[in-house]
């Protein structure tokens, strides 16, 4: 329970609860938020001041193209220079603050986000088109993330330890120190949680930040930065520059930025990594990228649990999660009953305006995603596949003013077809029968990604084989709440292997913060 309001929190561990109180609150708040907050200019924030340099652009909700959200400013070269300069100017003081001071301020940010969580969730709902519970869960996760990282940082503080001595009178201390200015570049799908997670990693450890959100999520970004500043964060520690690829490129090419934390697609993450490796010296890039996540349903699975978990992970947020399930390998002995149950569960998922309480999933982010979906369906049909559910864009009413796609299940596609290998980021899943679990797991691994994987089995040997051989940073077994999705600070760490990440360490877990610092040993002769 949320101590402040007595309201139940939407968290990972209680997602299947009844949230009637939360819905009643949202019934009241969504319209009020739209009237109060939408349609206004939202300046960037540089050195604690509003900044409107760059080209103005308006954003509309994917829910309804007529719902104008805000006007933002795509930061130009001058604005990016100013933001980096402000972050550099703030670095000296911020990095020298005692860890306790930074922890205290970040905890104050968490408290402030808690007070503002309804606004943040509604902004994310409108900007991304995510369902009510996805949006509230994301806001709650952001708050827990700060508290988790603060506790982790506190446990290791002051992040230094004595080393052994080679000579009498000599003392060596090893410590981790911040790099300087971090570029923080966020994707569209979790504008609150991922931005807060990356910003917290950067600044808690003593760096300062220039934060570039996804171009369509500048409203949540500005609300977040306002909350950070209202909590006592000194000006210049977090600077906001909105815009798209051009602004991102200006930031990545800026010599004043010491390192990057990025979450987004493999293509852009690798572009940033290559650029940062190719200068006079390499700059760190902590990148979390895409996925093509498999699940396995064996002959020993509980079919109802499997169908529930598969439907939730494949179609939650309309398939627009990095951890979304996109390939299901099903043992031939249970293939028909499983598909039957999955299809029936899937047909029961409500797609529509996510402002309404009963809606499971809303629109996809843009028309481009609609084109990717249509191409995947056409390619599946051309390759002899069968569309078992969905397949055609939804139309009528509000659905004509956004891109609404039905949860789509495809059978009869080779496991090495491009739609079984590429990240599609739409509500589209392919099914593949198997006889040999080891071979199916090898097939599941045969992609460039390695983010999440799941299994449904009641057999201990099968479970052990999966845990031993699945090439992914996040594994799940027998979960009705999601075959390959669901992560929470301190409960599951979230690390991308292979093409899903660059550092071999993930967010939400015990190894995240150390990535934002560099090691220094200091040996001093005392006598
Ligand atoms: P994207 O890669 O298109 O954009 C991510 C960010 O990069 C945006 O802010 C964008 O404006 C910026 N950008 C674009 N071009 C750039 C450039 N040349 N230089 C610098 N910045 C640039 O991703 P998206 O469509 O916003 O998000 C979806 C992707 O994110 C999917 O691939 C998804 O799997 C991935 N994702 C991964 C995780 C994870 O934890 N692994 C979490 C969420 C999303």
Asked whether the beta carbons of 87 and 210 are under 8 A apart, the reply is yes
Q: Judge if the beta carbon of residue 264 lies within 6 A of ligand 1.
A: yes
Alpha-carbon Rg for the chain in angstroms: 23
Give tens-digit pLDDT for 32-89.
999 999 999 999 999 999 999 999 999 999 999 999 999 999 999 999 999 999 999 9
pTM for the model: 0.97
* CB-based contact 310:325 (threshold 8 Å): yes
Cα separations in angstroms, 424 against 145, 335, 419, 512: 28, 24, 7, 28
Encoded tokens for 295: 């699940």
Q: Are strands 452-456 and 55-61 parallel, antiparallel or unpaired?
A: unpaired
Q: Which of 213, 241, 268, 502, when mutated, tests ligand 1's pocket best, judged by the most ligand atoms within 8 Å of its CB?
A: 268
User: Can you tell me which atom of ligand 1 is nearest the CA of 251?
Assistant: 20
| Alpha-helix residue ranges (DSSP H) falling in 231-299 | 245-252, 266-277
CA of 320 to the centre of ligand 1 (A): 12
**In angstroms, what is the span from residue 403 Cα to ligand 1's centroid?**
20
CA 60 vs. chain centroid, Å, equals 21
Q: Which atom of ligand 1 is the closest one to the Cα of 271? A: 18
Q: Is the CB of 425 under 6 A from ligand 1?
A: yes
In whole angstroms, how far apart are CA 96 and each of 65, 204, 205, 210? 47, 12, 11, 19
> What is the rounded CA–CA span in Å between residue 192 and residue 187?
10
Q: What is the pLDDT of residue 11?
A: 81
Catalytic residue (choose from 242, 276, 322, 495): 322
**How open is the CA angle 52-57-58, to the nearest 5 degrees?**
120
CA of 167 to the centre of ligand 1 (A): 51
Centroid of ligand 1 to alpha carbon of 213 (angstroms): 9
**Whether 130 contacts 138, CB under 8 Å:** yes
Which is catalytic among the residues 37, 140, 288, 423?
Answer: 288
449 contact partners, CB below 8 Å, separation of at least 6: 266, 289, 290, 291, 292, 293, 423, 496, 498, 499, 500
138 noted as active-site residue: no
For a mutational test of ligand 1's pocket, the pick from 264, 326, 507, i.e. the residue with the most ligand atoms closer than 8 A to its C-beta, is: 264
Reading the block at residue 144, the tokens are 């827990």
What is the pLDDT at residue 3?
42
Q: How far is the CA of 14 from the centre of ligand 1 (A)?
A: 29
Q: Please work out whether the CB of residue 186 comes within 6 Å of at least one atom of ligand 1.
A: yes
- Quick: pLDDT tens for 320-357: 999 999 999 999 999 999 999 999 999 999 999 999 99
Query: Could you tell me the two tokens for 236?
Result: 């210049």
Peptide bond preceding 158 in cis form (omega within 30 of 0): yes
Measured by CA distance, the residue closest to atom 32 of ligand 1 is 265
The atom of ligand 1 lying closest to the CA of 186 is 9
Residue 2 confidence (pLDDT): 46
Q: Give distance in angstroms: CA of 187 to centre of ligand 1.
A: 4
Place of tokens 């369906």: 377
User: For residue 475, which phi and psi values (nearest 5 degrees)?
Assistant: -115, 145
26 touches 353 (CB < 8 A) = no
Would you call 322 a catalytic residue per the annotation?
yes
Question: Per residue of the chain (527 residues), what is the pLDDT tens digit?
Answer: 444 456 788 887 776 677 899 999 999 999 999 999 999 999 999 999 999 999 999 999 999 999 999 999 999 999 999 999 999 999 999 999 999 999 999 999 999 999 999 999 999 999 999 999 999 999 999 999 999 999 999 999 889 999 999 999 999 999 999 999 999 999 999 999 999 999 999 999 999 999 999 999 999 999 999 999 999 999 999 999 999 999 999 999 999 999 999 999 999 999 999 999 999 999 999 999 999 999 999 999 999 999 999 999 999 999 999 999 999 999 999 999 999 999 999 999 999 999 999 999 999 999 999 999 999 999 999 999 999 999 999 999 999 999 999 999 999 999 999 999 999 999 999 999 999 999 999 999 999 999 999 999 999 999 999 999 999 999 999 999 999 999 999 999 999 999 999 999 999 999 999 999 999 999 999 87
DSSP per residue, 49-118: EEE--SEEEEEEETTEEEEEEEEEEE--HHHHHHHHHHHHHHHHHHHHS-HHHHHHHHHHHHHHHHHTHH
């Amino acid at each position: 329970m949320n101590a402040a309001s007595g309201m139940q929190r939407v968290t990972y561990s209680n997602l299947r609860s009844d949230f009637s109180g939360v819905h009643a609150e949202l019934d009241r708040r969504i319209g009020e938020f739209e009237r109060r907050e939408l349609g206004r200019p939202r300046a960037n924030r540089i050195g604690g001041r509003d900044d409107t340099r760059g080209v103005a652009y308006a954003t509309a909700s994917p829910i309804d193209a007529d719902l104008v959200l805000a006007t933002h400013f795509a930061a130009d070269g001058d604005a990016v220079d100013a933001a980096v300069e402000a972050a550099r100017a703030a670095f000296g003081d911020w990095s020298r603050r005692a860890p306790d001071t930074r922890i205290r301020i970040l905890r104050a940010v968490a408290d402030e986000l808690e007070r503002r969580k309804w606004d943040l969730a509604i902004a994310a709902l409108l900007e991304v088109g995510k369902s009510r519970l996805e949006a509230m869960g994301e806001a709650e996760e952001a708050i827990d993330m700060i508290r988790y990282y603060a506790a982790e940082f506190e446990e290791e503080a002051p992040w230094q330890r004595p080393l052994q001595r080679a000579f009498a009178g000599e003392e060596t201390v090893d410590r981790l120190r911040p790099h300087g200015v971090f570029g923080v570049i966020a994707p569209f799908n979790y504008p609150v949680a991922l931005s807060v997670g990356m910003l917290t990693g950067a600044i808690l450890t003593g760096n300062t930040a220039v934060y570039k959100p996804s171009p369509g999520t500048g409203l949540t970004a500005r609300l977040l930065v306002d909350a950070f500043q209202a909590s006592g964060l000194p000006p210049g520690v977090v600077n906001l520059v909105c815009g798209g690829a051009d602004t991102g490129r200006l930031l990545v090419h800026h010599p004043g930025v010491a390192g990057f934390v990025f979450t987004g697609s493999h293509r852009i993450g690798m572009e940033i990594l290559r650029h940062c490796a190719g200068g006079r010296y390499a700059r760190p890039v902590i990148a979390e990228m895409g996925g093509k996540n498999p699940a396995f349903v064996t002959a020993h699975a509980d079919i109802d649990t499997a169908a529930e978990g598969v439907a939730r992970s494949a179609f939650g947020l309309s398939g627009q999660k990095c951890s979304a399930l996109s390939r299901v390998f099903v043992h031939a002995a249970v293939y028909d009953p499983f598909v039957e149950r999955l299809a029936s569960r899937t047909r029961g998922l409500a797609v529509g305006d996510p402002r309404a309480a009963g809606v499971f999933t809303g629109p996809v982010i843009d028309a481009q995603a609609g084109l990717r979906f249509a191409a995947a369906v056409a390619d599946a049909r051309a390759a002899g596949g069968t569309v078992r559910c969905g397949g055609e864009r939804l139309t009528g009413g509000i659905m004509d003013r956004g891109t609404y796609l039905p949860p789509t299940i495809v059978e009869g596609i080779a496991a090495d077809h491009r739609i079984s290998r590429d990240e599609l980021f739409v509500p589209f899943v392919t099914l593949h029968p198997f006889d040999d679990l080891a071979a199916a797991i090898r097939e599941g691994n045969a992609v460039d990604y390695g983010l999440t994987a799941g299994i449904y089995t009641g057999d201990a040997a099968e479970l052990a084989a999966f845990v031993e051989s699945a090439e992914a940073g996040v594994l799940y077994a027998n979960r009705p709440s999601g075959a390959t999705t669901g992560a929470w600070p301190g409960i599951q760490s979230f690390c991308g292997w292979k093409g899903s990440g660059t550092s071999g360490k993930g967010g939400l877990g015990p190894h995240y913060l150390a990535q934002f610092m560099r090691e220094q040993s200091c040996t001093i002769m005392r006598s």
